[in-house]
Amino acid sequence: MIDIHHHLLFGVDDGSPDLETSLEMARVSAENGVTHIVCTPHANSQYPYNAPLIAERYAELCAELDGWMGLSLACDFHMTAENIYDAAANPWRYSIDGKGYLMIEFSNTAIPPQIIDAMFMLQSAGYTLIITHPERYPALLGQPELLAEMIRKGSLVQVTSGSLYGRFGKMAEAFSNELLDRNWIHFLATDAHSITGRPPHLKKGYDYVAQCAGVETAERLCVTNPLVAVEGAPWPPQPEPLGLWDRVPLKFHAKRFAGPPRRDAGNDAPGSGKGGFFKRLFGR
């Protein structure tokens, strides 16, 4: 399997703090059947993308792993105006190994409709966008039709493995399972940050998908689609996304879930602002 969302690089964000932990995380990934990890350090206000440091740590980790775990370098790309302008001006700087597939992350607090315009700007620059864990943004769970529109406009979807079996709360579990039922998921990944707190347990997600949707789907989400993204190959045909083009409303309704969202139910990008940048970006 290939895990395309993983905070394996040490000392660059809230993922692995040191080389020793990174090596242990890689070992746990290998135990889970993972042979290749895409390192996705944050690029947000709290953890700016320090390219020279990231390149240095990536080279050190590659040397330490000595080929027993394949590695790629990418980014957990937060959708700020600054990031968007930089990525648009420097294709394909933040994408997986610079080959075009870009992992994008939204704000927890607000996702305005103008996000579609911002995404189009990146797509026009040549990126293929992968929406990371849509099931974990409270701001998106309240307007799931916005995700449908993003998919119709060509974005791909990566769900966190643990969301499917309830690790991120009932809302994320319900939403991600409906996405699975509808063939709206293209990738499963761990978004691992540590060995115990947010571990790289991809096999559990693979087994869950294999049981609920069949081995073929599990292979597609954990092996073949991730390989396409790592290689930067053209996106292949996928199973029919049920209810997408004929706009069948999702069964999921956030209001059915009582109580406040769990603290870890959203993304891991604090300081993301409240969408005001879109106003500055597009003047509305």
Contact residues for Fe ion (CB under 5 A)? Answer: 76, 191
User: What 3-state class would DSSP assign to 219?
Assistant: helix
Q: Are 135 and 163 in contact (CB under 8 A)?
A: yes
- Of 3 and 191, which CB lies nearer to Fe ion in the complex structure? 191
- Of 135 and 191, which CB lies nearer to Fe ion in the complex structure? 191
- The kind and range of the H/E element at 76 are strand 76-78
In whole angstroms, the minimum distance from the beta carbon of 119 to Fe ion comes to 18
- Of 77 and 182, which CB lies nearer to Fe ion in the complex structure? 77
Cα-to-chain-centroid distance, residue 102: 9
In whole angstroms, the minimum distance from the beta carbon of 268 to Fe ion comes to 5
Amino acid at 133: H
- Of 26 and 213, which CB lies nearer to Fe ion in the complex structure? 26
- The kind and range of the H/E element at 115 are helix 115-124
CA angle 96-278-262, nearest 5°? 70
What is the C-alpha separation between 212 and 206, in angstroms, rounded? 10
In whole angstroms, the minimum distance from the beta carbon of 267 to Fe ion comes to 7
Tell whether omega for the bond before 92 is within 30 degrees of 0, i.e. cis.
Answer: yes
Which residue's CB comes closest to Fe ion? 76
In whole angstroms, the minimum distance from the beta carbon of 77 to Fe ion comes to 10
In whole angstroms, the minimum distance from the beta carbon of 173 to Fe ion comes to 19
- Of 6 and 182, which CB lies nearer to Fe ion in the complex structure? 6
- Of 47 and 213, which CB lies nearer to Fe ion in the complex structure? 47
In whole angstroms, the minimum distance from the beta carbon of 137 to Fe ion comes to 12
User: 85-95 burial by CB neighbour count: b if 16+ within 10 A, else e?
Assistant: eebbeebbbbb
Q: Are 232 and 96 in contact (CB under 8 A)?
A: yes
